[in-house]
Amino acid sequence: MTNLVFLVPLFPLLGFLINGLFRKQLSKPAIGVIGCGALLASFVVSVMLFANQLHAPKLASGTYPSTSVLFSFINISSFKIQFAFLVDALSSLFLLIITGIGFLIHVYSTSYMHDEPTEHYGRYFAYLNLFVFSMLLLVLGGNYVIMFIGWEGVGLCSYLLIGFWFKNNNYSNAAKKAFVMNRIGDLGFLLAVFWLLAKVGTVEYSEVFTRVSQLSKVDIGAITLLLFVGAAGKSAQIPLYTWLPDAMAGPTPVSALIHAATMVTAGIYMIARSNVLYSLAPCTQHIVAIIGLATALFAATIAIKQNDIKKVLAYSTVSQLGYMFLGLGVGAYTGAVFHVMTHAFFKALLFLGAGSVIHAMHHEQDIRKMGGLRKKLRVTHFTFLMGCLAISGIPPFSGFFSKDEILAAAYAHSPIYWGIGVVTAGLTAFYMFRLYATTFLGTFRGTHDQEHHLHESPKAMTIPLIILAILSVIGGAVGVPEILWGDHHLHSFLSGSITTEQAHHIEHSTEYLLMGVSVAIAALAILFAVNRFSKKPELEEATGLGKVLQNKWYVDEIYDAVIVNPLLKLADVLKNIIEKSGIDGIVNGVGRFVHYASRQLRLLQSGLVGSYILVIVLSIVVLFLVFWNQTIILQFVQKIF
């Protein structure tokens, strides 16, 4: 069965080539069928691979599944890198998330992007297919080099999709910002790969993990830190998170794809895949946990004062990613992967629900100009509510189980971690239901024309919402913990891939108490937000601390003042002084001198025989003088030098 793994990325690649090359000849329905069909075919193969993994025998500790080698990618005397795919429990789970959620987003896009001209419609689906192909390559790669190729591919596709409407300068700048900030993280990843090659001589996962004893503590610490720099860039952690909220410039389904199924989960996957290395680097784990926790809290405080419906969800993603890194940092790798899965369900749902609202409101994104949409958008409203409850951690919705697992592991590591995590959970419930109440409850605050044209989205958009809502409700069933009379099927399924899970022992009574406190805080936050914002939405401009939060703690402005503007000024100096007056001055000066000298030498060829004879005679005289007085001349030269 694993021999079919090459089909999973192949179908999206074919979809990209066909839609990309023939976008001017194909009709919109044909483009949609090719784009969606490619993902559906990949999803079917992914399901088969996942089912095969369910029944695969467990490998002995310290052994790893073999890879499917397609060809030799780099083959030199000192090392060899295979273009190989690895199918195990971890990669097969990610395949389901990427292709399953990706397929629903593709179907949704057929309606959401229908007003685009045919050529742009084809370009859009070609980019989407290429994005999914790159993410599949990242997940399936059997070594760090193939992962890096996919890593760069999703970076390129995010640039293309965020800047899809490239004639808008703001959108183009957002795309460039995402591209540049990701390159900073990519440098860390690349250095880690070189370090591994230098020390172990291989980048194959199985060989690296079995030869880990050859690495010193310094090597492991440095490699894991460098890998984390890459993960922080791709998964939007402090200080490399500011590109993700700006990535909202792209079409809304793209936001759903980036935030739920592809790009931002890459960092989580990379660290979970490298769990053997991270478990031997406790210092790095502390850093990962602290950065994750700080990001979760910081982004949540920003989200509570945003008025753009997509910006609220964007900062929510940054915050939830922080939770996942907290899980990774405290050794709860399965909990982090579990939250990736449930987050994919409800975040895709929330973004697509936001797209449905924006579609009904004629591209209005300010929630202060909405309100009362509950009656007009019944499907969107109900499914959005399911997503809000799931992300708020209300039982028995999916987010409750995954978030609780991370919080329990954090408590076992440090009660301070748990306390900050619970406060963040309360903030999450608050800003999500502020968003919900302001958008769907109360009275409509838009224009008369918007109110007149309010309507539910077509089925191509609502059916994915319904499916994602169902998954958001029941998706947590795969990870019900033992204290709630479950078996945590996901933990046993991933045990072959995540071999260094740290056990966290907490008394059942303590765990019930932690769970109760977490749910109580979230419930109180929801009640307060609904009661507060359904009756009297925040329509006025924020002041004081609220204004600081609304302006995102002025982090972008600080980055501009400290990093961007000095770099631009340095670039101006290099361009106008060093290049124009320095390098260009030297190069052009040589050219001007040669030109001047040639013009002067040209005068010697006057065509006058008398002048030529005069020059010859003078030259002969000079030569004779030099010949007869060479001793005097040499003495003169020696005196000078």
User: What stretches of 414-507 show up as alpha helix (H) in DSSP?
Assistant: 415-440, 448-452, 459-474, 489-494
Residue by residue, DSSP assigns 495-526 as: TTT---PPP----HHHHHHHHHHHHHHHHHHH
- Comparing CA positions, the residue from 58, 46, 133, 123 lying closest to residue 92 is 46
Residue by residue, DSSP assigns 36-79 as: HHHHHHHHHHHHHHHHHHHTSPPPPTT--PPPEEEEEEEE-SS-
The domain ranges of the chain are 308-540, 605-640
- Residues paired with residue 80 on neighbouring β-strands, in sequence order: 75
Instruction: Read off the pLDDT of residues 592-617 as tens digits, 9 standing for 90 and up.
Output: 999 999 988 887 787 888 888 888 89
CA distance 224 to 235: 16
**Any idea of the CA torsion for 550, 555, 557, 559, to the nearest 10 degrees?**
-160
- Comparing CA positions, the residue from 183, 178, 152, 299 lying closest to residue 249 is 178
Least confident range of 64-73, 216-225, 236-245, 247-256: 64-73
Say whether pLDDT at 638 is over 80: no
CA distance 386 to 472: 7
Say whether pLDDT at 474 is over 80: yes
pLDDT of residue 601: 85
Q: What is the mean pLDDT of residues 456-469?
A: 95
- Residue 601 to residues 316, 588, 594, 606, 623: CA-CA distances in angstroms? 75, 20, 10, 10, 21
Q: How would you label 105-140 residue by residue, b for 16+ Cβ within 10 Å and e otherwise?
A: bbbbbbbbbeebeeeebbbbbbbbbbbbbbbbbbbb
Say whether pLDDT at 86 is over 90: yes
- Comparing CA positions, the residue from 254, 353, 329 lying closest to residue 502 is 329
Q: What is the mean pLDDT of residues 289-314?
A: 95
pLDDT of residue 425: 95
Say whether pLDDT at 500 is over 90: no
pLDDT of residue 76: 82
Instruction: Read off the pLDDT of residues 128-152 as tens digits, 9 standing for 90 and up.
Output: 999 999 999 999 999 999 999 999 9
Amino acid type, 403: K
pLDDT of residue 297: 96
Q: What is the mean pLDDT of residues 359-385?
A: 93
Instruction: Read off the pLDDT of residues 427-460 as tens digits, 9 standing for 90 and up.
Output: 999 999 999 999 999 999 988 888 888 889 999 9
Q: What is the mean pLDDT of residues 362-371?
A: 91
Instruction: Read off the pLDDT of residues 524-553 as tens digits, 9 standing for 90 and up.
Output: 999 999 999 988 888 888 888 999 999 999
- Residue 185 to residues 562, 579, 629: CA-CA distances in angstroms? 19, 29, 73
- Residue 286 to residues 188, 297, 376: CA-CA distances in angstroms? 18, 17, 48
Q: What is the mean pLDDT of residues 395-416?
A: 94
Say whether pLDDT at 219 is over 70: yes
pLDDT band, residue 580 (cuts 50/70/90): confident
Looking at every residue in the chain, the average pLDDT score rounds to: 91
Token reading at 333: 């790798």
pLDDT of residue 641: 67
Instruction: Read off the pLDDT of residues 243-281 as tens digits, 9 standing for 90 and up.
Output: 998 888 889 999 899 888 888 999 999 999 999 999 999
CA 296-301-302 angle, 5° bins: 100
Strands 68-75 and 80-85: antiparallel
pLDDT band, residue 63 (cuts 50/70/90): confident
Q: What is the mean pLDDT of residues 409-429?
A: 95
Least confident range of 333-342, 379-388, 578-587, 632-641: 632-641
CA distance 430 to 253: 25
Q: What percent of the chain has pLDDT over 90?
A: 71
- Residues paired with residue 450 on neighbouring β-strands, in sequence order: none
pLDDT of residue 542: 84
pLDDT band, residue 636 (cuts 50/70/90): confident
Higher pLDDT, 420 or 635: 420
- Residues paired with residue 141 on neighbouring β-strands, in sequence order: 85
pLDDT of residue 62: 65
Cβ atoms of residues 166 and 172 within 8 Å: yes
Least confident range of 58-62, 356-360, 459-463, 496-500: 58-62
Q: What percent of the chain has pLDDT over 70?
A: 99
Cβ atoms of residues 288 and 324 within 8 Å: no
pLDDT of residue 439: 95
pLDDT of residue 1: 67
Instruction: Read off the pLDDT of residues 89-137 as tens digits, 9 standing for 90 and up.
Output: 999 999 999 999 999 999 999 999 999 999 999 999 999 999 999 999 9
pLDDT of residue 577: 87
